[in-house]
Amino acid sequence: MSGRLYKPQDYPLPYVVSDIKQWPIYRLTHDREAFLADVKAIVLQRVKAKFPSSRALHEELARVLYQERIRLTEKPWKADPPDERMFWNSIKSKLVRLDQLNSESIITEETILNEIIDRYLNEIVGNFDSRAFGFARVFLPQFWGRIFSAAPGPWLKAFSRNAKTIHEKIPITGDVEKIRHLATKGTLVVVPTHFSNMDSIMVGWILSELGLPAFTYGAGLNLFSIGLLSFFMNRLGAYKLDRRKKNSVYLETLKNYSSVAIRRGAHSIFFPGGTRSRSGSLEKKLKLGLLGTAVEAQKNHYRDFPDETAPKIFVVPVIINYHFVLEAQALISDYLKETGKERFYRENDEYSTSFKLIRFIFKFLNASSSLSVSFGEVMDVVGNKVDDEGNSYNHLGNKINVRNYFMTNGEMKDDQQREEEYTKILGERIVDNYYRYNVVLTSHLVCFATFELLKKQFKDADLFSLLRTPEEDISLPYEQLANCINQLKDRLKEMYDRGKILISPELRWNVDKIIEHGMKNINLYHAVSPITKRTDGNISSEDLKLLYYYHNRLDGYGLEKFV
């Protein structure tokens, strides 16, 4: 890794662009009407191209209405505006009237489509407030400082601690200087792993600590009903996305909102896994829809600008590693419930009040833990590596022009299927980065080893019966665990040397200290301990589901062969 290394006390780094008015997101907000009009025009054009006749459009609108009415009855959220039902009733009556009226009516399929797009856009649109951003930058370190505070103790004491110590608790690895420089040369699309609802604020804050201009990002609509989160997100460039809405008009609006924002140079954060990882493992399959908007935006840049001036989009994978995840328990139950039964997760809105969130924070104040944030390789939209100046190099190490990916026989041609294939390639590279730049924390290693050893011990049991094993039947000799961890340590070291994974500094300690550190960190948060030491010195677990969840973090590396 090249570039300057920053020490904890260097953060927050100076802004790469000091005048906030020059930030793309500021200009986007400032120029909001034009921006939204831009998005709307494209959505209208796309939907009309897909449903060219008024008959076809009429049927599609009826389908949208149907899906929305189902959502309203089956999955209502507190975040839904009070006039939601009224709005869709009026759409319904307009569609019905359209059926009865003749063609001279002023209401047409198109005016109804317009109305729906407007409503969706109003819901999605974010609002960046530069003053609030500055405030957040000062406030958030304290917020996080308390959550991830190292010293257990009363929260008031934690509150008075110097906020900067937080940076020692959150080691940032990766070529920070390169990312800072590229932010001035093009548009960044940051693609983090997704484990917790805290991720979006976490990443937003880390990026601001790096001195980068504010990012725009999509956050689940349900999170906006939490007053405190909503306050920050609304002002930090968040826009709202609603995963319950799967109708064509909504998806088109959402996609183009993000695509146009990128085209207008707004640095963006996408969670390409879609939802939080339920199982606790790193994302293997990404949702390509939003990711595809980056590819599309890059193509449009090449179409609209000659070579030298075409703005470039850079994709930056980020891997966030927590010793423990706030919603671990709910996530893993969801996962186990859904495994093999249903294709889609139930989208519930847990932690739905500020009160609950604050309770969370208070719980954390006495916890001691750190997490790590690791940046992967910066890529172009087709997954090629880029150098410090933003030039692309293919896997053979040859400098290339990304425009060529969109050219056929010397001409630039629109081809959606081609872009989808490029998005798949980009997705594969991102997943590859997630695995290679994942930092193994002590807690993950201890949980992985313990669960794998238990699996061996109960080898006749399938996963579900293993997870139901009563606590008193679980007893793993400490020595066995220590040996296993030693073996895994050697293997991880070897993988680290080959650039297959990263390891936290604690992993160089001796095995007893590793186990102690891992157990301490993971047990501090959970009311029932995923991993405990029995009075006879053996290892046990009060909650095998949680143990399984944290174990999954090291899934997919083939490490089980070394247990």
Contact footprint for other proteins (CB under 8 A) = 382, 394-396, 398, 400-402, 404-405, 407-410, 413, 415, 417-418, 421-422, 425
- Compare residues 73 and 417 and give the one whose CB is closer to other proteins: 417
- In the complex, the smallest distance separating the C-beta of residue 396 from other proteins, rounded to whole angstroms, is 6
- Compare residues 154 and 499 and give the one whose CB is closer to other proteins: 499
Greatest CA separation found in the chain?
A: 86
- In the complex, the smallest distance separating the C-beta of residue 415 from other proteins, rounded to whole angstroms, is 5
- Compare residues 195 and 406 and give the one whose CB is closer to other proteins: 406
- Compare residues 365 and 426 and give the one whose CB is closer to other proteins: 426
- Compare residues 42 and 425 and give the one whose CB is closer to other proteins: 425
- In the complex, the smallest distance separating the C-beta of residue 286 from other proteins, rounded to whole angstroms, is 17
Question: First and final CA of the chain: distance in angstroms?
Answer: 31
In sign, the C-alpha dihedral spanning 187, 372, 451, 474 is negative
Tell me the residue type at 313.
I
- Compare residues 303 and 456 and give the one whose CB is closer to other proteins: 303
Alpha-carbon span 200 to 527, nearest angstrom: 25
- Compare residues 45 and 401 and give the one whose CB is closer to other proteins: 401
- In the complex, the smallest distance separating the C-beta of residue 299 from other proteins, rounded to whole angstroms, is 13
Are residues 113 and 61 in contact, defined by beta-carbon separation less than 8 angstroms? yes
- In the complex, the smallest distance separating the C-beta of residue 247 from other proteins, rounded to whole angstroms, is 26
Nearest to 258 by CA among 302, 219, 232, 212: 219
- Compare residues 111 and 404 and give the one whose CB is closer to other proteins: 404
Are residues 236 and 267 in contact, defined by beta-carbon separation less than 8 angstroms? no
Which two three-digit tokens encode residue 208?
């601001």
Alpha-carbon span 261 to 268, nearest angstrom: 8
- Compare residues 190 and 402 and give the one whose CB is closer to other proteins: 402
Beta strands in 290-376 (DSSP E): 312-322, 371-375
Nearest to 450 by CA among 329, 533, 365: 533
- In the complex, the smallest distance separating the C-beta of residue 417 from other proteins, rounded to whole angstroms, is 5
One DSSP character per residue, 31-90 reads: THHHHHHHHHHHHHHHHHHHS-SHHHHHHHHHHHHHHHHHHHHHS--TTS-TTHHHHHHH
- In the complex, the smallest distance separating the C-beta of residue 430 from other proteins, rounded to whole angstroms, is 17
Helices (H) and strands (E) in the chain, counts: 21, 16
- In the complex, the smallest distance separating the C-beta of residue 405 from other proteins, rounded to whole angstroms, is 5
Query: What letter does residue 214 receive in the DSSP assignment?
Result: P
- In the complex, the smallest distance separating the C-beta of residue 201 from other proteins, rounded to whole angstroms, is 37
Alpha-carbon span 384 to 234, nearest angstrom: 34
CA 110 to chain centre: 35
